[in-house]
Amino acid sequence: MPAALARATASWPTAEAVVDGEERLTFAGLDARSAAVARALVASGVRAGDRVSVWAPNSAAWVLVALGVYRAGAVLVPVNSRFKGQEAARVLRASGARLAFVVDGFLGADHLAMLAEHREGLDALGEIVLLAAPARPGATGWDAFLARGERDPDGALAAVVAARTAALGGDDVSDIVFTSGTTGAPKGAMLTHGASTRVYTAWSDVVGLRHGDRYLLVYPFFHTAGLKSGMLACVLAGATLLPHPAFDVPSVMRKVTEERVTMLPGPPAIYQTILGSDLTGYDLSSWRLAVTGAAVVPVELVRRLRSELGLRTVVTGYGLTETTGTATMCRHDDDPEVVARTSGRAIPGVEVRVVDDAGTPLPPGTPGEIVVRGYNIMKGYLDDPEATAEAVDADGWLHSGDIGIQDAAGNVTITDRKKDMFIVGGFNAYPAEIEAALLERGDLVQAAVVGIPDDRLGEVGVAFVVPRAGAAVDPAEVIAWSRARMANYKVPRRVEVVDALPLNATGKVVKYELRAQAAPSSPP
């Protein structure tokens, strides 16, 4: 990854690399300032291979630290910015981070104070540095940290950084990225420099990201969607990165208007929110490219992004943290119908198959588990060889836990997660399919279906629906509507009208929370 930055700096030294409010960095500036972070890390005692953590929302300083960590030969461990102290401490403990960069408050939470309550077992953590903020008791200030790297009269620190960068190989671990925790506790995946650059060179190429693009990033840096398809793809393509700390329609639409944004990727949920909002007063004409995935994408959504927002290119993709974030992608010149119906095919050099429980490949159109093999597969889960062996089989296939089908051209459609599918009286019900049907009503912004236990049928579905602004939605009518359009076993037994669905920081609906809410034992 440091080589990718050096290439961008040589090719486009004066082009804007990162824009964050008042802060505007060219590639030359990004190069100089991330080198300063790397020198300061060396001066702070960080050795090659040491883990360095960042617990903060998206910002320009986050980018400087990430690139500085790579250049110092250390391993980046991003922490979910929405985590509470206990959750963050778990990641810091598990990774043995020596140094952590922490934001001085985000969304009303005091990260430093939260961490102070959970210091037990954090013996490896020698220092906390406040990101782009002055010192507080228990934490070094940003300027004081950087000053360590500036006192380098004989160039000794710079020489160490240069040697560490030169020693990096493609197979060296660059980051430990934790999964989203959609199905359980997040797992730390060890990703490498080589896989990251190779995957996102291919990714930029297939989605059509190029120099001159202005890329608004709402995906968080602590997830591969932000860290790899956001930060790294921009460095590889020479695009301008606009890191955004938290999604809300007015702030994002204002930035698109003022900064002439061309690319805004996101999970389906944020596009649904944008489409359900009043957009008068914004100029979205610069926006040409949308990339979505991360959860099942309703066909209707792709159509509306084109017809209502006028986007020229909408691309869908599929991946897991364990596949360095990407396994399949649509190509930017794919037929809109392919984009709407599928998440594309394997990126170049990667194999994707649909198999049965015995691992035998299934014919096109037959649902089974998606498995992936190639250079994009993680090195393993952090300190968990058993879990790694369970996920990646002896032949190198990663078992995704997702159910899907493949068409004759290899395009994959994710039907659902193995864990979310439920069985009603012997029939497999796929929540994503039912949700997509419900969204066709037109009066709903979002829908989520979960299976709950039922004495007679084994399981039945419960739908949680968010009405469009101003729409009055009657649960009994939704059930009657569903009866007329879907097989009986798919019809939700109950419909709950809610203001919002529980989303994790990656924008995915947290279904286990909904299942708990929907369980018959809990009050209505």
Residue 55 · residue 100 · CB < 8 Å: yes
Within 8 A by CB and 6+ apart from 502, the residues are: 509, 510, 513, 514
| Three-state DSSP state, 113 | helix
- Nearer to Mg ion among residue 179 and residue 415 (C-beta): 179
Residue 184 interacts with ligand ATP (CB under 6 A): yes or no: yes
Closest CA to 227 of 13, 8, 36, 505: 505
Euclidean distance between CA atoms 85 and 119, whole angstroms: 9
Euclidean distance between CA atoms 164 and 150, whole angstroms: 18
Residue 436 · residue 490 · CB < 8 Å: no
Binding mask 264-293 for ligand ATP (x = CB under 6 A): -----------------------------x
| Region from 38-46, 128-136, 397-405, 482-490 binding ligand ATP, contact rule CB under 6 A | 397-405
Joined together, the tokens standing for residue 17 give: 């690399």
- Nearer to Mg ion among residue 140 and residue 180 (C-beta): 180
296 binds, among ligand ATP, Mg ion, none (CB under 5 to 8 A by kind): ligand ATP
Q: Residue 90 CA to chain centroid, in angstroms? A: 20
305-324: which residues touch ligand ATP (CB under 6 A)?
316, 318-321
Euclidean distance between CA atoms 77 and 88, whole angstroms: 11
Min dist. Cβ of residue 323 to Mg ion (A): 10
- Nearer to ligand ATP among residue 9 and residue 292 (C-beta): 292
How many residues touch ligand ATP under the rule CB under 6 A: the total is 27
Place of tokens 């995957």: 199
Residue 232 interacts with ligand ATP (CB under 6 A): yes or no: no
37 binds, among Mg ion, ligand ATP, none (CB under 5 to 8 A by kind): none
335-394: which residues touch ligand ATP (CB under 6 A)?
343
Min dist. Cβ of residue 305 to ligand ATP (A): 15
343 binds, among ligand ATP, Mg ion, none (CB under 5 to 8 A by kind): ligand ATP
Residue 349 · residue 202 · CB < 8 Å: yes
| Region from 11-19, 155-163, 178-186, 227-235 binding Mg ion, contact rule CB under 5 A | 178-186
Min dist. Cβ of residue 184 to Mg ion (A): 9
Min dist. Cβ of residue 469 to Mg ion (A): 33
- Nearer to ligand ATP among residue 182 and residue 273 (C-beta): 182
Residue 424 interacts with ligand ATP (CB under 6 A): yes or no: no
Q: What is the DSSP string of 373-402?
A: EETTS-SEETT-HHHHHHHB-TTS-EEEEE
CA distances, 141 to each of 129, 177, 243, 249, 321 (Å): 6, 26, 22, 33, 32
Residues that bind ligand ATP (CB under 6 A): 179-184, 186-187, 223, 293-297, 316, 318-321, 343, 400-402, 414, 417, 506, 508
List residues binding Mg ion (CB under 5 A): 179
